[in-house]
Amino acid sequence: MIIFLLLTMTMLAALLLQSYKKNSSIQYEMRQLIRIREAALDIANRVVNTNHPTDLYQYILDTCLKLIPKAKFGSILMFNSEGLLVAKASVGFNQDEITNFKLKLEESFLYIATEGNPNRTVIINRLEDIVLEKNIVNSGDSGFALRSEVSAPLFINKELVGLLCIDGDENDIFTEQDIYILDYMSNQISIIINNQKLYQEIFYLSKYDSLTNLLNRSCFDKEAALILNSRSLQTENMYFILIDLDNLKEANDTLGHSYGDEVIKTFSMIISNHLGKNELCGRYGGDEFVAILHDDPIPPEEKLEIIKFDFLASQNIFTEEKFVPNFSFGIAAFREGFYSLDTLYRLADMRMYQMKSLKKS
């Protein structure tokens, strides 16, 4: 009877312990879900209100390490212009080494673990075996600290742009919940990258003409005003130039607007190549351009004749010989305009149309 009671009590204790562990596990998961939700809201708010991706990368990486307690190291790797992965944010690595770190995608843990198909978040254990196999470190290196990793790919419009990597110094420490966390965080990083690209495009279009890559009218006027108001530049040696491409309307009407666009882009490239320090060029619209030139080392008239010669020489790149590249221009010295952009424009405009009239007559 006593033995039966002891067995019954033992079984009840085991059930209570199991129930306690289960409840504790549920409570832990609930707390973790709340933490993830709070972190998600915070990151979403930062994504909307911040245009500095480097700070956001580091914040997201720090958040990942807080949500995954057994993680010791982490990095966000993005492709550079050479197609190599470089660190945009890191935790736990030597800063001098991580700054100069460059890695081919094929050498990444995610690429190796997925057998060349890095399109999903995975847990990778025994990293030292992968490293030694790929000879990334010497085989005699006993100080290798990374043992496991949970790694997520970063995509923008289905294009792989980087990796989010969370590392530990023990094997078998990451769980399916950690995969869920990294899936969410990698999505947030993708939003940051996409937003930053959109921001850069909007910022670029606010300053530059999309067809020619020259300053647009608004930005040129602002830059010209800064030069006019500057006392550090020798503005008495500077000139406001108004340029109009000859017969471009006829070319558009007879040869098509795509042909006319090529003429405009060719002229823009040529004049850009001849601009010196503190000289500007912008597209005012259609076939009209503006520039600020100075007389050092050569007078603006001579520079414009050189540009005109190069523009004429570009005729052989066009498929039609009916159009001869040429332009008319008017020049107004800054001292004539008494530091007024409107006055300079009117003077240059008048002289440009005088040149056009001479050509017609």
3-state secondary structure of 43: helix
CATH architecture of 35-204: 2-Layer Sandwich (3.30)
Mean pLDDT of 76-88: 92
Model-level pTM greater than 0.95?
no
The whole-angstrom distance between residue 108's C-alpha and the CA centroid of its chain comes to: 23
Mean pLDDT, range 197-223, rounded to an integer: 86
Nearest residue to 193 via CA among 43, 78, 41: 78
Statement: residue 283 has pLDDT above 90: yes
Which tens digit of pLDDT belongs to each residue from 145-194? 788 999 999 998 889 999 999 999 888 999 888 888 888 888 888 887 78
Q: Where are the alpha helices (DSSP H) in 50-175?
A: 53-67, 95-99, 109-113, 127-133
Task: Please list, in sequence order, all residues whose beta carbon lies within 8 angstroms of the beta carbon of residue 118, skipping any fewer than 6 positions away.
Answer: 105, 108, 110, 111, 153, 160, 163
CB 225 within 8 A of CB 215: no
In three-state secondary structure terms, 72 is coil
Tell me, what's the pLDDT at 104?
92
What's the CA gap between 105 and 162, in Å, rounded? 9
Burial category of 255 from C-beta neighbours within 10 Å (exposed 0-12, middle 13-18, buried 19 and up):
middle
**In this predicted structure, which of 11-20, 48-57, 265-274, 294-303 has the lowest mean pLDDT?**
11-20
Give buried/exposed letters for 40-63 (b at 16+ CB in 10 A, else e).
beebeebbeeeeebeebbbbbbeb
Residues 338 and 349 sit within 8 Å (Cβ to Cβ): no
* pLDDT beyond 90 at 4: no
Domain ranges of the chain: 35-204, 217-360
Q: Which CATH number does 217-360 carry?
A: 3.30.70.270
| Rounded Cα–Cα distance for residues 310 and 195 (Å) | 40
Residue 57: pLDDT band by 50, 70, 90 thresholds? Answer: confident
Strand partners, 354: none
Residues 6+ apart with CB under 8 A from 35: 66, 67
The overall average pLDDT reported for the chain is 80
